[in-house]
Amino acid sequence: MSTTTGNPATGQHEHVAQWPRINAAIDPDGRGTLNINGTERPCVAASVDELRTGVIARCAQIAAQLHRPVRLTVTDGASTWAMAVRAEGIVQLLEDDSTIPPADGLAAHEGRCRICRRLQPVTQAHCVQCGIPEPHRVETVGFGTGDVEADEHSPAGAQAERPRLQLTFSTQASVVEATEGVALGRNPDPVGGRRPIQVVSHELQLSRTHALIDIDDTGRILVTDHHSGNGIEAQTNPPMRLTPGRPHIVQPGTTLLMGDVAVLVDFA
């Protein structure tokens, strides 16, 4: 990944906030994941270079919405890199104090369109040749960025209200509400920083960490089977068996069957 090491207007180093939390994992086969604030998306591209370009393009889009650089942590093989992506598509390595120097003279990262292969900056919303939207997109499930809030220092009234999950379980009386991502199971791990929710499973058909439930940046509910033993079936019409490891969009009010446990997933 091509990177360079402020504030262009002042010449001073510019601090890059911790939020939003953006992490990417790049695999040698051109596959990987992009995780934004705990919501993970599988990614695939024709090559590792194109996968890196797609990740940068998404970060540049978020940076443009927030009007500031965003932090990106990339695990690429055995190496992990902390960097910043500007709205102009410029990528810079983060210094130890979480700052970046001025971007004077630096150029935007470029990559080829996923359809027509035309080379263009990652800031292009539509391909300059074939017109396809998001020419550098690598996520296999769409990533909305419309509701990414400003940051923790913004006035409270300027922040969009986050939807609140409400989870009702067939095996226990307690109802769980959460604005963050959650991990469900008999004794779940806090996968990706998610809040672990312990669920009663009388017949022990629930895995230790069975399901991950998130709300993405557009307010959609995403459910992922965390490679559980008995799987997850959404009680839709017709019922839908979830593919392990892949996030699925479910509508509010959907019941999930997870072994001997039924979970009603809704908004509070």
Residue 34 binned pLDDT confidence (cut-offs 50, 70, 90):
very high
Q: Which two tokens stand for residue 7?
A: 């504030």
How large is the average pLDDT for residues 248-268?
91
pLDDT of residue 239: 92
Give per-residue pLDDT as tens, 118-175.
999 999 999 998 888 899 999 976 544 443 543 444 333 334 456 789 999 999 998 9
Residue 231 has pLDDT above 50, yes or no: yes
For residue 231, CA distances in Å to 26, 38, 246, 253 come to: 27, 21, 12, 19
Local structure of 52: helix, strand or coil? helix
Across residues 222-248, what is the average pLDDT? 93
**Residue 5: pLDDT band with limits 50, 70, 90:** very low
Is residue 27 packed enough to be buried (19+ CB in 10 Å), middle (13-18) or exposed (0-12)?
Answer: middle
Q: Among 2-16, 59-73, 121-135, which is the least confidently predicted range?
A: 2-16
Q: What is the pLDDT of residues 180-194, one digit of tens each?
A: 899 999 999 999 889
d(CA 225, CA 61): 29
- By the 8 A CB rule, do 266 and 250 touch? no
What does the pLDDT look like over 76-135, one tens digit per residue?
888 899 999 999 999 999 999 889 999 999 999 999 988 888 999 999 999 998 888 899
Q: How large a percentage of the chain has pLDDT more than 90?
A: 56
Domain with CATH 2.60.200.20 in the chain: 165-267
Enumerate residues 6+ apart whose C-beta is below 8 A from 66. Answer: 20, 148, 150, 151
Q: Give Cα separations from 141 to 42, 43, 180, 199, 249 (angstroms).
A: 7, 8, 20, 28, 9
Domain 165-267 has CATH 3.60.20.30: no
CB distance 115 to 124 below 8 Å: no
